[in-house]
Chain A
Amino acid sequence: MTLRTDRGTGALELRALTKSYGGNTVLDRMDLTASEGEFISLVGPSGCGKTTTLNIVAGFEVPDGGDVILGGRSVLDVPSYRRGLGMVFQSHALFPHMTIADNVAFGLSVRRTPKSEIRARVAESLDLVRLSAFADRYPRELSGGQQQRVGIARALTVQPRIILMDEPLSSLDAKLRREMQVDLKRIQRAVGITALYVTHDQEEALTLSDRIVLMNKGRIEQNDTPEAIYNKPANAFVAGFIGEASFLSGTVVQSGDPGMVRLDSGTLLKTGAAQLLAGSKACLAIRPDRVYLRPLGAAQDALAGTVRARAFLGTTVRHIVELDGGGEIMAQLTVPESDGIVEDGRVEVMDDPQDWRLFPAEST
């Protein structure tokens, strides 16, 4: 291993990365730091710049501005093949004319590593992804999940500074994808490698990541742990993208903690800490699993509505409630909790004021 200059810079640092294609800005002064061994997901809708970021780190694309720092040194003038990276591709991109062992050995054989060392390290990598029995097969003889494990082994065999993954599981079916997520996390932990992972699947990002970087239109909307990004979304975009949320709009009548918001429907709602000024328009968001329902009683000024749809999801039941005076709210209840609530029935929405997130209205 070369000298590891960990002067607080971390394994990877992106500084004010900027890229545009024909006047269309894909990356807008993006900053990011990854520490050793961290699993970071870049998440966002298509066109948000996550893949461009990965391609710039890989050396496939050159940024218009900014810098990429790997292990303490700028690599902008270093060609891709000298950056010491490993990468896993959405299409697997295994070499079809080579055996599994030769695919995994590729990075070492182009570096003219001694044969005996190659053999040992390929065996080690294949063991790690549990494909030792397939060394002499060809990629086309393997299933999609097995092929992607070969892709991971190929990337790890070069002992990269950082492993880049471009939607590696999106070509697999849902069940296999979940199994592979567990596998991927196990391998990354075992090797202790820094990973930069691109996905549009927020659930995958929540499962795998130490940190999620949510991007939109070339900018970072929020960069935080999965728990923080789920429980304390920085804005309405984050709340809507990561996990599910119902949105209501209204006007702040009292800022501070507790806050009060007059919904557009006229109902007065108590919320947690409201940072917005009284009188300003606000967007309110709440997770479906933080909303409870009960048949409507005689309570005055309750948030009331009519159940429009119920969907049984196994352990929970999902309800969509149309609120009186406009707006819709999702409620996810356990089966016993949903007892007595029927379609087209009148219900009262129960909530903990602390579960409402308030954002300035224009950010929706």
Chain B
Amino acid sequence: MPGPVRLLAWALYALILLPIVMVLGASLTAGGFLTFPPQGLSLRWWQAMLIDRELLRGLMISLRIATLTLVISVPVGALAAIFLDRQNARWRNALVPVLTAPLSVPLVLTGFALLVFFTRLGLLNETGLVLGHVVVSVPYVIRSALVSLSLSDRTLARAAEVHGANPAQVIWKVTLPMMRHGLISGGLFAFLASLNNIVVSVFIAKPGVIPFPVVLFSRMENLAEPSVAAASTLVIVLTAVLCMLLEWRYDLFRSLAR
């Protein structure tokens, strides 16, 4: 890489990574306000976070919702991808944008639409939160599952069928194993999309069931204590560890790029 390009690359890395470093720094402050650079070093705000009932409760709720979202989105997205993959190109090109619309429609609109819809159905509760998150997460699963299907040999399904596998056995024994990498990475994105979701959650959450990002957001608006930075750092580290574990185990991103 020539010098100027290399410099630009590092500048971009810095732009992406420095804010995260700042959050970590801010959480270690000894002072009473959210500032960077930190005023003295201490772990007092990490201690404060660990006994902050509201934050911890939000975190538990978010983890629970994200897990349920993952468990629902993966099979739904997998079946949708199998369906789409079996359509002719024209029909598929028309259907994919529809089924993955939440990726392109502004989240605020999706959130507002869900609010109107769920109010009617009486779903402004944790069930509604899970369903709302599923709506915005399924497209990630569909996308990456479609990629792994398009990379696999299409005659495999025919080979299974002609040797006696019924349609369910073809899916179970051949198609799903072929999609494995796509489903794992799609599932990871679905989980993270739910864990980080704030826009849809603000519309649907009701007092008592407030997901973690919504708690963080209202804290930052009202009392910007450094414990917020500590909690954020915790989530960033958890997310990074999760990604690295899956990457190490399944070589996810390389298999998608192949």
> Given A95-B174, A110-B169, is A87 in contact with B159 using a C-beta cutoff of 8 Å?
yes
- Selected interface stretch from B59-67, B129-137, B150-158, B198-206: B150-158
Asked if B1 is at the interface (CB within 8 A of a chain A CB), the reply is no
Is B163's CB under 8 angstroms from A155's CB? yes
Q: Is the CB of B166 within 8 A of A81?
A: yes
Contact of B158 among A79, A82, A93, A158 (CB under 8 A): A93
Residues of A within 8 A of B173 (CB): 95, 106, 110
B161 interfacial contact with A, CB 8 Å: yes
Chain A neighbourhood of B164, CB < 8 A:
81-82, 84, 106-107, 110-111, 158
Q: Is A211 an interface residue (CB 8 A)?
A: no
User: CA of A60 to CA of B173 in the docked complex: distance in angstroms?
Assistant: 19
Least CB distance from B166 to A in Å reads 5
- The answer to whether B163 and A106 have CB atoms under 8 Å apart is yes
Q: Which of B153, B155, B165, B178 contacts A81 (CB 8 A)?
A: B165
> Considering only CB atoms, which chain A residue lies closest to B159 in the complex?
A93
- Decide if the interface of chain A is mainly helix, strand, loop or mixed: loop
In this complex, how many residues of chain A approach chain B with their Cβ under 8 Å: the count is 26
Chain B residue at minimal CB-CB distance from A111 = B164
> Looking across the interface, which residue of chain B has its beta carbon closest to that of A164?
B162
CA–CA, A171 to B4, complex, Å? 47
B contacts, CB < 8 Å to A:
153, 155-156, 158-167, 169, 173-174, 177-178, 180
Q: Are A81 and B162 in contact (CB under 8 A)?
A: yes
Q: Which residue of A lies closest to B158 (CB)?
A: A60
- Asked if A7 CB lies within 8 Å of chain B CBs, one says no
**Does A99 count as interface, using CB distance less than 8 angstroms?**
no
Which residue of B has the minimal Cβ distance to A106?
Answer: B163
Partner of A89, one of B155, B177, B180: B155
Residues of A within 8 A of B178 (CB): 97
A9 interfacial by beta-carbon distance below 8 Å = no
Bound complex: CA A182 to CA B159 (Å): 24
Let me know if A158 and B174 touch, CB within 8 A: no
Cβ A58 vs Cβ B158 within 8 A:
yes
Residue interface bits A288-299, CB-to-B below 8 A is 1, else 0 = 000000000000
Q: Which residues of A contact B (CB under 8 A)?
A: 58-60, 79-87, 89, 91, 93-95, 97, 106-107, 110-111, 154-155, 158, 164
Judged by DSSP, the binding face of B is helix
CB pair B155–A91 under 8 Å, yes or no, is: yes
CB closest chain-B residue, reference A103? B159
A-B contact sample (19 more), CB < 8 A, given A59-B161, A81-B164, A107-B163: A79-B161, A79-B166, A81-B163, A81-B165, A81-B166, A85-B162, A87-B159, A89-B159, A91-B153, A93-B155, A97-B177, A97-B180, A106-B163, A110-B160, A110-B163, A110-B164, A110-B169, A154-B159, A164-B162
Q: Which residues of B contact A86 (CB under 8 A)?
A: 162-163
Nearest chain-A residue to B169 (Cβ)?
A110
Most central of B156, B158, B163, B177 by chain A CB within 10 Å:
B163
Task: Name the distance in Å between A272's Cβ and chain B's nearest Cβ.
Answer: 46
A60 cross-chain contacts in B, Cβ below 8 A: 158, 161-162
Interfacial chain B residues near A155, Cβ < 8 Å: 163
Contact residues in A for B162 (Cβ distance below 8 Å): 58-60, 80-81, 83, 85-87, 164
7 residue pairs from A and B, CB less than 8 Å apart: A80-B162, A85-B162, A95-B177, A106-B160, A110-B165, A154-B159, A155-B163
Minimal beta-carbon separation of B148 from chain A (angstroms): 12
Complex Cα distance, B162 from A79, in Å, reads 9
Name the residue on A nearest B155 (C-beta).
Answer: A93
Q: Within the complex, which residue of A79, A87, A91, A97 is in contact with B163, where a contact is CB–CB below 8 Å?
A: A87
CA distance A83 to B165 in the complex (A): 11
Give every chain A residue within 8 A of B156 (Cβ-Cβ). 93, 95
CA of A81 to CA of B170 in the docked complex: distance in angstroms?
A: 10
CB distance from A246 to the nearest CB of B (A): 40
> Top 10 A-B pairs ranked by shortest CB distance?
A107-B163, A93-B159, A93-B155, A110-B165, A97-B177, A87-B162, A80-B161, A107-B164, A110-B164, A110-B169
Please name all residues of chain B whose beta carbon is closer than 8 Å to the beta carbon of A158 when the two chains form the complex. Answer: 163-164
The docked-state distance in angstroms from the alpha carbon of A164 to that of B155 is 14
A247 to B17, CA, bound (A): 75
Query: Which chain A residue shows the least CB distance to B152?
Result: A96
Q: Which of B155, B159, B173, B178 is the most central at the interface, judged by chain A CB atoms within 10 Å of its CB? A: B159
Residue in A81, A91, A111 whose CB lies within 8 Å of B161? A81
Contacts of A89 in B (CB 8 A): 155, 158-159
B160 CB contacts on chain A under 8 angstroms = 95, 106, 110
A153 CB → nearest B CB, Å: 12
Q: Which residues of A contact B153 (CB under 8 A)?
A: 91, 93
> Which of A80, A84, A155 lies at the interface centre, i.e. has the most chain B CB atoms within 10 A of its CB?
A80
Q: Smallest distance from the beta carbon of A235 to chain B beta carbons, Å?
A: 34
Residue of A82, A83, A110 with most chain B CB atoms under a 10 A cut-off: A110
Q: Please, how many angstroms separate the alpha-carbon atoms of A87 and B162 in the complex?
A: 7
Give bound CA distance, A164 to B158, whole Å: 13
How far does the alpha carbon of A87 sit from the alpha carbon of B160 in the complex, in Å?
10
- Closest chain-A Cβ to B162's Cβ sits at a distance in Å of 5
Residues of A within 8 A of B159 (CB): 87, 89, 93-95, 154
Q: Which residues from B are CB-within-8-Å of A84?
A: 164
Which chain A residues lie closer than 8 Å to B180 at the CB level? 97
In whole angstroms, what is the CA distance A309 to B161 when docked? 52
A60's closest neighbor in chain B, by CB? B158
Q: Nearest B residue to A97 by beta-carbon distance?
A: B177
CA distance A59 to B177 in the complex (A): 24
Task: Give Cα A93 to B159, complex, Å.
Answer: 7
Which chain A positions have C-beta within 8 A of B161?
59-60, 79-81
